[in-house]
Structure 1
């Protein structure tokens, strides 16, 4: 299994997961032309994507999902709550198959087994996912205001982990956002800060962990060096071992062996 990012942050998110001939796109918060360009940067064409999974309805995750799906007839999987709140983005004539998923029920697409799990976020029915190929497990967690025992159980024993480190608490408090936005971002239904992400990480079984990539960093309220320090301290590893997903470049393919 391998995985790569189209970009990660407040203006657009997308993650590609590949196992043999199965290629899935998790979210697409980019315009159609930009999404195609970012997919090509990874050596792929949209026609090679077998499915798009959607975590929740916010524009930085769904902005390009339905245009891409309609243009290339790519099936889409999402919860009922996300479906209801995303209808304004959908074309009148759907050229793709739409699959409604249960936030707790596992399912398979091609060679990948997928486990959705609910997360606390200010959306209608948000989920995140783990992906398994029978040998390895990739966990993804972004857009969650706090951890839960269920999140920690789901993300334990991953071989690779993409983990939200949205903001530094002090930078958010002293930053340019208005008070209401600061409260939303830092609240229970907002986004994980660096120390909360590190605390969550410390509760997981990380004995198999080959890759960790910090994602959804705020460009105004965080800095990669702060993320590296927080996560490396928890794992007891060198700071440079912590990967960072950027807004513009995402990150290149990472292989799970």
Structure 2
């Protein structure tokens, strides 16, 4: 069995994803309470005791809220770059020195047969990263919390079998929404969040013959809707001549309040 994953939760209320290789399993971010993560993992038939590590994308609270308690409970090694450690340490409490692991941006680590590589992204955090997971020729990429998809990011995540990509907001809903303008400006900036339109335009360049599925992630509860995100992204793909039969439609959703089903990366 190759790579499998479940997005436990995705959104401003908390983010966490489990990626399982043939022999090792890691958690990406821990932005829910330790209790909530236990509940969601139980829904997917796994326990924190089965995890081999916890990798961190950046220090914002929706990615590290339960990190300290969860990592201490299950005695997990925590992997993050030095800048992220410096920004998050005061928020997560004490992590035993032997469990505090520096994983510099761009570094590639091995968890059994599975490799995990971080890559830099554009977001208003100390040194935010995304992650690519590979095993036996299969590739899963996670790309959320990025203001835009740079050429460097595209080179990292192109030719993924499965891509989890941010589709945070509808631009007009955000502009007309209740947030103060300084917050709107931050979200719309190059160090903010990816809009539905930007996600669709990026996918035009990222989707190849290898692409099996795309998961739209980190949707705003206030400034987006699932149907709208799907419609916008699919319309952009169709406008660029990328069509799918209904039964082959590759777009999937993630949720803020429940985990996605386990998905095997190799499945068409």
TM-score range, shorter chain: over 0.9
- List aligned pairs for 1:1-257, cutoff 5 A: 1-92=3-94, 94=96, 97-233=99-235, 234=237, 235-237=242-244, 241-257=250-266
Distance 1:169 1:96 in 2: 44
Distance 2:222 2:207 in 1: 32
Pairs aligned (count): 257
Gaps of 5+ in 2: none
Alpha-carbon spacing, 1:205–1:225, altered in 2? closer, same or farther (3 Å): closer
Runs of 4+ with deviation above 3 angstroms: 238-241
Distance 1:166 1:212 in 2: 14
- 1:144-192: CA deviations, max 9, x gaps? 0011111011111110000000000000001111111111111110000
Distance 2:32 2:97 in 1: 19
Do the aligned partners of 1:138 and 1:158 also contact (CA within 8 Å) in 2?
yes
Alpha-carbon spacing, 1:212–1:205, altered in 2? closer, same or farther (3 Å): closer
The TM-score normalised by the length of structure 2 is 0.92
Structure 1 window deviating more from structure 2 (88-97 vs 1-10): it is: 88-97
SS in 2 for 1:146: coil
Distance 1:93 1:170 in 2: 42
The TM-score normalised by the length of structure 1 is 0.96
Distance 1:237 1:149 in 2: 26
Gaps of 5+ in 1: none
Alpha-carbon spacing, 1:93–1:132, altered in 2? closer, same or farther (3 Å): closer
Distance 2:117 2:60 in 1: 21
SS in 2 for 1:203: helix
Structure 1 window deviating more from structure 2 (224-233 vs 43-52): it is: 224-233
SS in 1 for 2:206: coil
SS in 2 for 1:166: coil
